[in-house]
A and B are shown apart, each in its own frame.
Chain A
Amino acid sequence: MTPYVAILSGRFRTLLQYRAAAFAGAGTQLFWGLIRMMIFDAFYRSSAAPQPISLSQTITYIWLGQAMLGILPWNVDPDVRGMIRTGSVAYELLRPLDLYALWYSRAVAQRTAPTLLRSIPIFIVAGTFFGLRAPASLFALAAWILTTAGAILLSAAISSLLTISLLWTVSGEGVTRLVPGLVIALSGMIVPIQLFPEWSQPLVRALPFAQVVDTPFRAYLGTLGRSETASAIVVQLAWTGVLVLFGRWLVARAARRLVVQGG
């Protein structure tokens, strides 16, 4: 195994151990999903105007959001945060590895392992009882899987940037307060982007956050055609490339001014 794959799988195995957290998380997500379902139900009933997507599509979108919440790049890697506070980050630098690639591998594990654990019970429960539909077609399923893979790569790039910010701020307290609101709203996690004001949609879609949530969900619902799917994947990869380069540049700058805490 190459070092980075080894780190990824090591982190993945570690995170899979937190089963109680996953079940508690799934419970919370089911509860929130139900509340949001009721809100959108009331919203659709009270409005006579035709909406860009149907209620049943919105409900599926909501449940996908609850199941895939863990891919959202909303926090710093708690492991690295702990290491920076205590100075154990020294050991990260003692490895014959590229620091950016090391943290990116950690971020991929961080975004996938908890999501995997939480999404399965949500898919089962919401699919059986609460109106989560199957993918619109076989093509939609394939497009969903591909764009989800793209979303994970992109989300890991954004998460790495948040983690890298710890090299300046140490505590990460500020980042974890500012970023979630922004990311959750702009990704489409609260309101599907198709229900955003029309003028704002191109703007919101141009930002990377919508690529993490809205793009794969629309693929699942079957609203992305072949060429749209292809271009969505290109946009995801392009954003990933840009953010990875930016992250690498930041790490190179930070390495010279790094201070390892404690004696």
Chain B
Amino acid sequence: MPQIVVEELRKTFRVAERQAGAWGAVRGLVQRRQREVRALDGVSFALDAGEMVGYIGPNGAGKSTTVKVLSGILVPDSGRCEVMGRTPWQDRVAHVSGIGVVFGQRTQLWWDLPVIESFDLLRDIYRVPGSDYLRARDELVDLLNLAPLLDTPVRQLSLGQRMRCDLAASLLHSPSILFLDEPTIGLDAVSKLAVRGFVKTLNRQRGVTVILTTHDMDDIEALCSRVIVIGEGRILSDGTLEALRGRVSRERRLTIDLVDECEEVEDADASVIRREGPRVWLRYDPARVSTADLIARVTSRHAVRDLFVENPPIEEIIAELYGGREG
């Protein structure tokens, strides 16, 4: 029995439109036009306890809408959704005590109060027994290295510090499911790594189910074995990262550093996509020519100083998937 089941979820928003400029504003007073936006257009998936899933898609694809429905703060027009056997929006209070949510662009901490007071307030709000609270809090403070921040008012924290505190705040009541909506947005490299490391520990060691929406493909590559891609309210792809790569394009890249800068590289099964001084980038399909054969051929014909093989960047794959839909 999966922990989260979503079936044929639909949600339409009405967006008031008016023409730009002063005349548009005046006309808008008399005549209102509304446009319907299908934020979710039949979304279905299921997750087992302990999974870590990346939920990706362009802006406006329906990611946040899905997270809001799953967390019980938005009622869909139709469809079924069960989280731990409950329908989130019907049983909101019971439902939200079992989940943790972090919206990367917003904070759940009390702006003017020291971090520790926000934590204490959350203990009271979630009715966490004192001893459980202290255990959870100390563990989170330790894992996220929050000890030096606890007495600082939230408004004085940097974004990275605030995000670490927000992560802790969402977990004080020990939820078994965590929704992360763009948790690394705007963070520097060090803070991103800290957040990723923490989420990984949480999932691997405590078995917390994590749904992660992000635009940062490094997040996905670092954390998620399964990726769901959504576009225009529909699921475009659902599977492992490798399957996603295979589905869109099977190409690989071979990068070669030649000894002789002026040498031309040619091969029947590969094409040159870029050349910069002694460095050449080749594109090939591993189904047509094995990587070993290609390397053997290239090294026998040219004097090669160094070479390496890589997958195309995940951004390109996703862009191709989005683009393929539009075309």
Contacts and interface: CB of A to CB of B under 8 A. Distances in A.
Contacts of A260: 68, 73-74
B126 interface: yes
A96 B112 contact: no
B75 interface: yes
Contacts of B127: 3, 96
A258 interface: yes
Interface string A224-263: 0000000000000000000000000000000110111011
A10 B96 contact: no
A95 B96 CA distance: 6
Contacts of A263: 59-60, 63-64
7 contacts: A3-B125, A3-B127, A10-B110, A10-B113, A13-B113, A14-B110, A258-B73
A5 B108 CA distance: 18
Interface string A1-43: 1110111001001100100000000000000000000000000
Interface string B86-130: 000000111011010101011110101100010011001111000
A93 interface: yes
Interface in A48-87: 86-87
Contact of A94 (B64, B96, B113, B121): B96
Contact of B73 (A17, A94, A98): A94
A7 B73 contact: no
A13 B117 contact: yes
A129 interface: no
Given A10-B110, A263-B59, A96 B125 contact: yes
Contacts of B45: none
A206 interface: no
Interface string A100-120: 000000000000000000000
B73 A96 contact: no
A95 B68 contact: no
Contacts of B120: 6
Interface of A: 1-3, 5-7, 10, 13-14, 17, 86-88, 90-91, 93-98, 255-256, 258-260, 262-263
A10 B117 contact: yes
Contacts of B96: 93-96
Nearest to A102: B125
Nearest to B65: A263
A258 B74 contact: yes
Given A7-B125, A90-B73, A96 B113 contact: no
B106 A256 contact: no
Contacts of A97: 93, 125
Contacts of B71: 90, 94
A6 B125 contact: yes
Among B74, B92, B96, B126, the one with the most A-chain Cβ atoms within 10 Å of its Cβ is: B92
B68 A6 contact: no
Interface of B: 13, 59-60, 63-64, 68, 71-75, 92-94, 96-97, 99, 101, 103, 105-108, 110, 112-113, 117, 120-121, 124-127
Given A96-B93, A256-B75, A263-B60, A90 B103 contact: yes
Given A93-B73, A96-B94, A96-B97, A14 B113 contact: yes
B126 A94 contact: no
A94 B13 contact: no
Contacts of A13: 113, 117
A95 B124 CA distance: 11
A91 B110 contact: no
A94 B101 contact: yes
Given A255-B75, A258-B74, A258-B75, 20 more contacts: A6-B120, A7-B125, A10-B110, A10-B113, A10-B117, A86-B106, A88-B107, A88-B108, A90-B106, A91-B101, A91-B106, A94-B71, A94-B101, A94-B108, A95-B126, A96-B96, A96-B125, A96-B126, A260-B74, A263-B64
A6 B124 contact: yes
B215 to A, nearest CB: 11
Contacts of B103: 87-88, 90-91
Given A10-B113, A17-B112, A1 B93 contact: no
B141 to A, nearest CB: 20
A3 B73 contact: no
A44 B117 CA distance: 53
Closest 5 CB pairs of A and B: A6-B124, A93-B73, A96-B97, A91-B108, A3-B125
Contacts of B64: 263
Among A3, A6, A93, A96, the one with the most B-chain Cβ atoms within 10 Å of its Cβ is: A96
A259 B74 CA distance: 7
A94 B178 CA distance: 12
Nearest to B111: A14
Contacts of B113: 10, 13-14
Contacts of B121: 6-7, 10
Contacts of A258: 73-75
A8 to B, nearest CB: 11
Nearest to A79: B111
Contacts of B13: 259
B306 to A, nearest CB: 43
A7 B60 CA distance: 34
A17 B114 CA distance: 12
Contacts of A87: 103, 106
